[in-house]
Amino acid sequence: MPKEFPVVWFQGAACSGCAISVLNSLSPTIKNVLLDELVPGKHINLKFMPTIMTGSGKIVMDILLETQKAKDYILIVEGAIPENGFGDIGEKSMESVVEELAEDASAIVSLGSCSAFGGIPKGNPNPTKVKSVEKFLDFKNIKKPVINIPGCPPHPDWFVGTVANILLFGIPELDELSRPRLFYGKLIHENCERRPYFDKGKFAKKFSDEGCLYELGCKGPYTNADCPIRSWNSGVNWCIQNGSPCIGCVEPEFPDLEAMYKKTKWNNK
């Protein structure tokens, strides 16, 4: 019998886009992830995930409680954590539920930029006073290993690859922002197909122009992710290949650093 790894997927202040992205994983498919052995001899047992659970109410909350009592599960948090009064689940505040779940988890994965850094819910003026998972755990003085997988949304490979790494080798090597170096180790700028234009000083002045998108607000020079070599939409394209500047969605400053299509502040120093 394969070893079972129970997983609880908690959804906080977010749009569910991260869940939808991961559910569209190409290889392995989400069916393979949930029903097969993701790595030989090891199987993920997804106990709780509101987006795809068919049940609701007390029945599913009891499953969550039973999993929590058994302990040693992987806790995946999608979305930021709002202050009390701005989000409830099972007639309890999101804050209190995440606090209880985090205490008994073996490891925590913050999926998406909202969970990793606050993301759009934390955008100025942050009306619901949301926190990222790491900052929330620090505030509650809960010491647990946290892996951040930011992105708006994150690429499905970043999530599935990280989970597979955990099952095979334990927590992967992380950067200073708790992101796996395997996926966030290099700048967009380093592998961008328009990099030769930048080196030659040929910059696009409007979106349909040939040239580097730097002058149109591209944040690739300070954004760490492997989008240029991985691509999106089942490998079809990615933002810059589609004519849009990188908006830096995997960085902590997103979305407040600068308007999407305006040169970044660091660029104007």
Active site residue 206: no
Catalytic choice (7, 130, 218, 240): 218
Catalytic choice (14, 146, 149, 239): 239
Active site residue 47: no
Catalytic choice (19, 116, 166, 192): 192
Active site residue 152: yes
Catalytic choice (246, 248, 250, 251): 246
Residue entry with tokens 């759009």: 120
Catalytic choice (7, 8, 14, 18): 18
Active site residue 249: yes
Active site residue 221: no
Catalytic choice (111, 114, 146, 216): 114
Catalytic choice (197, 249, 254, 264): 249
Catalytic choice (13, 77, 80, 212): 212
- 180-203 CB burial, b ≥16 within 10 A, e <16: beebbeebbbeebebbebbeeeeb
Catalytic choice (22, 137, 163, 227): 227
Active site residue 15: yes
Catalytic choice (146, 152, 247, 250): 152
Active site residue 79: no
Active site residue 35: no
CA 149 centroid distance within chain: 4
Catalytic choice (189, 213, 216, 254): 189
SS (H, E, C) the chain: CCEEEEEEEEECECCCHHHHHHHCCCCCCHHHHHHCCCECCEEEEEEECCCCCCCCCHHHHHHHHHHHHHCCEEEEEECEECCCCCCEECCEEHHHHHHHHHHHEEEEEEECHHHHHCCHHHCCCCCCCCECHHHHHHHCCCCCCEEEECCCCCCHHHHHHHHHHHHHHCCCCECCCCCEHHHHCCEHHHHCCCHHHHHHCCECCCCCCCCECHHHCCCHHHCECCHHHHCECCCCECCCCCCCCCCCCCCCCCCCCCCCCCCCHHHHC
Catalytic choice (15, 39, 142, 171): 15
Active site residue 114: yes
Active site residue 192: yes
Active site residue 246: yes
Query: Which of the residues are catalytic?
Result: 15, 18, 114, 152, 189, 192, 212, 218, 227, 239, 246, 249
